[in-house]
């Protein structure tokens, strides 16, 4: 057994479990979480009871009703999930000085030096489960994986039974690898097809293949996969929130339309959410891109470049707002996205003829007020009514901030 120890925690049926914890009348019932309650909506998360009846992510509302007439639909409340996540991560941070949030319902914990061996790590895992149950919610369950690399810890967590725990050591590694290729983190359908064409059918066969052969056939990524299943550390934990390469938000419109007032309100909401994340990370951006997708599948894209850099929401919202106002739309819009790129740490360099630092500080002050007292406490007039038109959402694969 290697000296390094990593723990991976994955909350089970997270959004639905949080709703069942908050509302005891939902417990034991098939619960389906929707982005918005609409006959055309789709399920973004489901409870254990709903999954047992075939109601999974992506299933439409009408199909869910057919599969389980007694299903209870609940519109998602991202603020509620983020709050619960912060409490869970706070507990985890008490066991190590290196916690890496992976998504809103997953995190890695570096236990090297905090646990002497795998048995002590397992005790910490059990204690985490118990504390989450007692301090956050009795209806919240999690799966835990423990191993000597980040990849194997997540693999162990992914294959662990619901509310269970799996520990992978160098001695028992191969006993867990006689599984589908797609059971491993980083191997999707396309890569699994390429591996099968090379005669590799399982993760165990991938482990046993000649590394020189796999690298020649699939390049460095092929070697990366081989190294991962052989227990070689490739990706180390990153303490705290990662600095992203881009910041953005997308929104599938409940109302497919060419109505400019509606679309501009959605744009304002997306820009404000992106701007808040940008400032929270103390970053600034050089480029901002607006993306519209029509019902036909065609799309419209516009990228604007900053004179200095973007930091306040208004600096990139205003030009994108003007572009959308003047744009000739080809049909009803079904999805809108905006992205900030070319990110760098914020600079507070004073300009000779500019009051930009005062504007930056004003934006920071508004963020503090909204963080403390709730969204839209202090906001631009462009965001008026946007909380009703573009409801807040959260994705599983998005890192969330938390306080230690």
Domain spans, the chain: 1-169, 171-230, 247-389
Please compute the mean of the pLDDT values over residues 241-252 and round it to a whole number: 80
**Lowest mean pLDDT segment, chosen from 78-87, 338-347, 351-360:** 351-360
106 is catalytic: yes
Model confidence at 401: pLDDT above 90: no
Report the share of the chain in percent with pLDDT over 70.
84
**Residue 212 and residue 298 in contact, taking contact as beta carbons nearer than 8 Å:** no
Please compute the mean of the pLDDT values over residues 336-356 and round it to a whole number: 72
pLDDT digits (tens, 9 = 90+) for 348-392: 554 444 555 666 666 666 666 666 655 655 566 555 555 555 555
Model confidence at 280: pLDDT above 90: no
Q: Tell whether domain 1-169 is in CATH 3.30.70.270.
A: yes
Phi and psi at residue 43, to the nearest 5°: -80, 130
Radius of gyration of the chain (CA): 23
Does the model's pTM come out above 0.75?
no
Tell me the CATH architecture of domain 171-230.
Answer: Orthogonal Bundle (1.10)
pLDDT digits (tens, 9 = 90+) for 183-238: 998 899 999 999 999 999 999 999 999 999 999 999 999 999 999 999 998 777 77
Model confidence at 337: pLDDT above 90: yes
3-state secondary structure the chain: CCCCCEEEEEECCHHHHHHHHHCHHHCCCCEEEECCCCCCCEEEEECHHHHCCCCCCCCEHHHHHHHCCCCEEEECCHHHHHHHHHHHHHHHHHHCCCEEEEECCEEEEECECCECCHHHHHHHHHHHHHHHHHHHCCCCCEEEEEECCHHHHHHHHHHCCCCCEEECCCCCHHHHCCCEHHHCCCCCHHHHHHHHHCCCCEHHHHHHCCHHHHHHHHHHHHHHHHHHHCCCCCCCCCCCCCCCCCEEEEEEEEEEECCHHHHHHHHHHHHHHHHHHHHHCCEEEEEEEEEEEECCCCEEEEEEEEEEEECCHHHHHHHHHHHHHHCCCCCCEEEEEEEEEEEEECCCCCCCCCCHHHHHHHHHHHHHHHHHHCCCCCCCHHHCCHHHHCCCCCCCCCCCCCCC
Catalytic residue among 19, 49, 106, 272: 106
Please compute the mean of the pLDDT values over residues 81-109 and round it to a whole number: 93
**Residue 145 and residue 168 in contact, taking contact as beta carbons nearer than 8 Å:** yes
In whole angstroms, what is the distance from residue 84 CA to residue 105 CA? 10
pLDDT digits (tens, 9 = 90+) for 34-71: 877 777 778 889 999 999 999 998 888 889 999 999 99
pLDDT of 353:
43
Q: What Å distances lie between residue 403 and 77, 101, 247, 365, CA to CA?
A: 20, 12, 21, 19
Name the average pLDDT for the chain. 86
The larger pLDDT score, comparing residue 172 to residue 297, is at 172
Angle at 108 between CA 102 and CA 114, to 5 degrees: 160
CATH topology of domain 247-389: Dna Ligase; domain 1 (3.30.1490)
Please compute the mean of the pLDDT values over residues 268-291 and round it to a whole number: 89
Please compute the mean of the pLDDT values over residues 111-127 and round it to a whole number: 95
Closest to 105 (Cα-Cα) out of 126, 68, 136, 127: 136
């Amino acid at each position: 057994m290697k000296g390094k120890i990593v723990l991976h925690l994955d909350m089970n049926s997270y959004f639905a479990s949080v709703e069942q914890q908050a509302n005891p009348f939902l417990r034991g019932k098939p619960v389906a979480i929707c982005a918005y309650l609409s006959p055309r909506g789709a399920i973004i998360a489901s409870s254990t009871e709903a999954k047992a009846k075939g109601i999974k992510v992506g299933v439409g509302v009408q199909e869910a009703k057919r599969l389980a007439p007694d299903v209870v639909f609940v519109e998602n409340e991202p603020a509620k999930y983020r709050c619960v996540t912060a409490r869970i991560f706070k507990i985890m941070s008490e066991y190590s000085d290196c916690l890496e949030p992976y998504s809103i319902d997953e995190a890695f914990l570096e236990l090297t030096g905090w646990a002497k061996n795998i048995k002590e790590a397992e005790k910490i895992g059990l204690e985490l489960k118990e504390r989450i149950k007692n301090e956050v919610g009795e209806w919240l369950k999690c799966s835990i994986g423990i191993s000597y690399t980040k990849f194997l810890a997540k693999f162990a967590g992914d294959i662990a039974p619901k509310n269970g725990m799996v520990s992978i050591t160098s001695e028992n590694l191969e006993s867990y690898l006689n599984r589908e290729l797609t059971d491993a983190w980083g191997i999707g359908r396309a890569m699994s097809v390429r591996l099968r064409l090379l005669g590799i059918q399982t993760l165990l066969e991938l482990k046993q293949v000649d590394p020189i052969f796999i690298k020649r056939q699939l390049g460095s990524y092929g070697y990366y996969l081989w190294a991962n299943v052989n227990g070689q550390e490739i990706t180390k934990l990153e303490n705290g929130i990662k600095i992203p390469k881009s910041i953005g938000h997308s929104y599938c419109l409940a109302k497919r339309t060419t109505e400019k007032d509606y679309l501009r309100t959605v744009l304002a909401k997306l820009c404000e959410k992106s701007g808040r994340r940008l400032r929270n990370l103390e970053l600034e951006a050089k480029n901002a891109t607006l993306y519209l997708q029509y019902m036909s599948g065609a799309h419209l894209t516009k990228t604007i470049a900053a004179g200095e850099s973007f930091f306040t929401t208004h600096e990139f919202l205003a030009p994108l707002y003007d572009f959308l106002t003047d744009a000739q739309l080809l049909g009803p819009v079904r999805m809108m996205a905006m992205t900030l790129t070319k990110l760098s740490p914020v600079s507070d360099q004073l300009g000779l003829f500019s009051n930009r630092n005062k504007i930056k500080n004003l934006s920071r002050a508004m963020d503090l007020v909204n963080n403390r007292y709730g969204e839209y406490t202090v906001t631009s007039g462009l965001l008026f009514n946007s909380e009703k038109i573009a409801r807040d959402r959260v994705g599983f694969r998005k890192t969330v901030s938390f306080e230690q």
